Amino acid sequence: MIEVKNLHKSFGDQSVLKGLDIVMHTGKCNLIIGSSGSGKTVMLKSMLGLLHPEAGSIAFDGRDILSMVPQEARKLRQEMGMVFQGSALFTSSTIAENVKMPLDFFTSLSEEEKMDRVHFCLDRVRIENAAQKFPAELSGGMQKRVAIARAIVLNPKYLFCDEPNSGLDPETAMVIDNLIQDITQEYGMTTIVNTHDMNSVLEIGEHVMLLKGGLKVWEGSKEEILRADTPDVQDYVFRSHLMKRVREALRG
Amino acid sequence: MVYRFLIGLGAYWAFLRQVFQKPEKGSEYLKSFWREFNDLGVQSIPLVFIVSFFMGAVLTIQTALNLEDPLIPRYYIAIAVREGILLEFAPTIVALILAGIVGSSISGSIGNMRITEQIDALEVMGINPASYLVMPKIVAFVLFSPINLIFAMFSGLLGGYLAGWWLEMLAPGDFIQGLRLEFNTFYIVYSMTKVLIFSFFISSISSYFGFRVKGGALEVGKASTKAVIASILTIIVFNYILTDLLLK
């Protein structure tokens, strides 16, 4: 479980997070939704320790990353996996080398054992045949799969995904969504997904939180969000023509 | 402007403290070191060789043209060429050229990793990106710099020798005699000291500018330009300081 309490973060005189309180549930896909500027990415980067909030706490199973010295925070980060929006693969390394990198740094496995683990992870995300290719030779969807494989190679307890579907066609986006959900359940991870995509919410949204103006304004499940009648949810979720039709259909 | 310079200096110092930390795994840093040793060091040899060769040739021609006096022995030309190459051209001019080529390459590659979130990815993995990406570059480039210096000295003197002989300005015997006359071995120590310090500045300043890039491809280009300018200015200033300290 990850507990975010009273998180404040500003850039100059612009306050982005204004006392955010959020709890991420273990073994579930926790989806953070909200319009641009609502503080989703700032919250995610703060959780990862890439940004330093002015106040608040972020406790990973009771361990507050914000009160740790950099070395301790790095140790904790070894329990995290991250899928970046742009995949963030190392362009001069092959796919196998990309996935193997965390193993090289943080395990004492033999080369053979490491390669077995790499092939297992690539097989898990169904791109086993791309091991010797370079990231530039793969499509956006395949790069996302490699990023997922790299994120899970050390069996992390926490998986972060920043807009994993951006730039992907609906079919590939659904494959990635399902992959994230399957892996979360398989490994019992706490998964946090930042997304704008309502398809993702309806596909894998076990625990959905809506941010607005740096605060959590709603939380519930994918079933509940379709029936929620708070103005914030109505504004965000049912703005598109398609979602309005969905709501009308649900209301019969 | 002075305030901004001091802020930048403080940030550069903080960056260096981040860079020189205990590696997470020595063997991975060693792998990276050998890769950089090849990319930043070995691959710069041809350029260093060509630049120094022609610089030596030009220096010989100009010195020979300016010492057209029957009262001055011809081997004085070689002495002037030797002193010029050993004291100034090999360490400083080569460092300035490498600041342009290696410096922009370092800041460009690190800047590109920054804007494509590769540096964030390393940080999230629990790896110190400043240390892993920069320390092997600095160590490899600094350790390779004496080799570059030897190549620069050798090719500069070779260029001078061949130009004197080819243009019939200086007989090979006179050139060799001039090279050997009153040779001061401290000049090698002096040049080595300069080149080690300049290499440290080139690699660390370029990495610093690459590491702090924010934005997109345009900012990476701007950072490379800033890195080259800052490296060149630092080399020029420290060239004066070191000359004053070591040769006085």
pLDDT of residue A190: 93
The residue range of the domain holding A208 is 1-79+160-167+174-223
Distance between CA B28 and CA A70 in Å, rounded?
Answer: 20
Residues A128 and A151 in one domain: yes
* A5 touches A16 (CB < 8 A): no
Q: What is the pLDDT of residue A75?
A: 85
A72 lies in the same domain as A97: no
The answer on A219 and A110 residing in a single domain is no
Residue pair B55/B159 in contact (Cβ under 8 Å)? The answer is yes
Chain B residues whose beta carbon lies within 8 Å of the beta carbon of residue A78? 125-126
- In this structure, the answer to whether residues A14 and A127 fall within a common structural domain is no
Quote the longest CA-to-CA distance of chain A. Answer: 60
Query: Residue A249: its pLDDT value, please?
Result: 80
Residue contact A74–B127, C-beta within 8 A? yes
Range A9-15 contact pairs with CB under 8 angstroms and sequence separation of 24 or more: A9/A39, A9/A42, A9/A46, A9/A51, A9/A53, A9/A54, A9/A214, A10/A54, A15/A214
ipTM attached to this prediction: 0.85
Instruction: Report yes or no on A138 lying in a domain.
Output: yes
Q: Name the domain count of chain B.
A: 1
Mutating which of B15, B117, B124 best tests the A interface, going by the most A Cβ atoms within 10 A?
Answer: B124
Judged by CB atoms closer than 8 Å, whether chains meet at A77 and B28 is answered as no
| Residue contact A50–B127, C-beta within 8 A | no
How deeply is B46 buried, as exposed, middle or buried, from its count of CB atoms within 10 A (0-12, 13-18, 19+)? exposed
Confidence (pLDDT) at A101: 94
At B238 the pLDDT is 95
Q: In a structure prediction context, what are the per-residue pLDDT tens digits for chain A, which is 252 residues long? A: 899 999 999 998 899 999 999 999 998 899 999 888 889 989 999 998 888 899 999 999 999 999 988 888 888 888 999 999 888 999 999 999 999 999 999 999 999 999 999 999 998 888 888 999 999 999 988 899 999 999 999 989 999 999 888 888 888 888 888 889 988 988 889 999 999 888 888 888 889 999 998 999 999 988 888 888 888 888 888 877 877 787 778 777
Domain check: are A138 and A178 in the same one? no
Would you state the pLDDT for residue A179?
Answer: 87
Q: In what helix (H) or strand (E) does residue B232 lie, and over which residues does it extend?
A: helix B217-247
**B25/chain A closest Cα distance in angstroms:** 6
Domain check: are A193 and A219 in the same one? Answer: yes
Q: How many domains, in total, are found in chain A?
A: 2
**Residues forming a β-bridge with A209:** A32, A219
Which DSSP category does B185 fall into?
T
- Beta bridge mates, A216: A211
Question: Would you put residue A6 in left (φ > 0), alpha (ψ -120 to 50) or beta?
Answer: left
Examine the domain organization and report whether A187 and A67 are in the same domain.
yes
Under an 8 A CB cutoff, do A104 and B25 touch?
yes
pLDDT of residue B31: 94
Residues A64, A187 within the same domain: yes
- SS3 for B24? coil
Higher pLDDT residue, A166 or B129? B129
pLDDT in tens, B54-81: 999 999 999 999 888 888 888 899 999 9
A109 touches chain B (CB under 8 A): no
Identify the closest residue of chain B to A104 by CA–CA distance.
Answer: B28
Same domain, A2 and A34: yes
| Pairwise CA distance, residues B85 & B93, whole Å | 9
Domain with B41 in it: 26-247
Counted residue by residue, chain A has a size of: 252
Please check whether residue B81 lies inside any domain of the structure: yes
Q: How far is A108 from chain B (nearest CA, A)?
A: 10
Lowest mean pLDDT among A119-128, B135-144, B227-236: A119-128
CATH number, position A182: 3.40.50.300
pLDDT of the residue at A35: 87
Nearest CA to A158 among A60, A70, A63?
A60
Contact at CB, A89 and B28, closer than 8 angstroms: no
Inter-chain touch A88–B24, beta carbons under 8 Å: no
Question: Is the Cβ pair B126, A77 closer than 8 Å?
Answer: yes
Residue A26's identity, in one-letter code, is T
Is there a domain that residue A55 lies in?
yes
CA A237 to chain centre: 20
Q: Give the single-character DSSP code of B167.
A: T
- At residue B74, the pLDDT reads 87
Average pLDDT over residues B88-110: 92
Q: Has residue B131 been placed in a domain? A: yes
Integer CA distances (angstroms), B153 to A119, A235, B88, B183, B193, in order: 51, 72, 10, 14, 14
| pLDDT computed for residue A56 by the predictor | 93
**pLDDT at res. A71:** 82
**Mutation site, B117, B122, B214, interface A, largest A CB count within 10 A:** B117
CA angle at residue B182 from B178 to B187, to 5 degrees? 100
Q: How far is B235 from A154, CA to CA, in rounded Å?
A: 45
A69 and A93 part of one domain? no
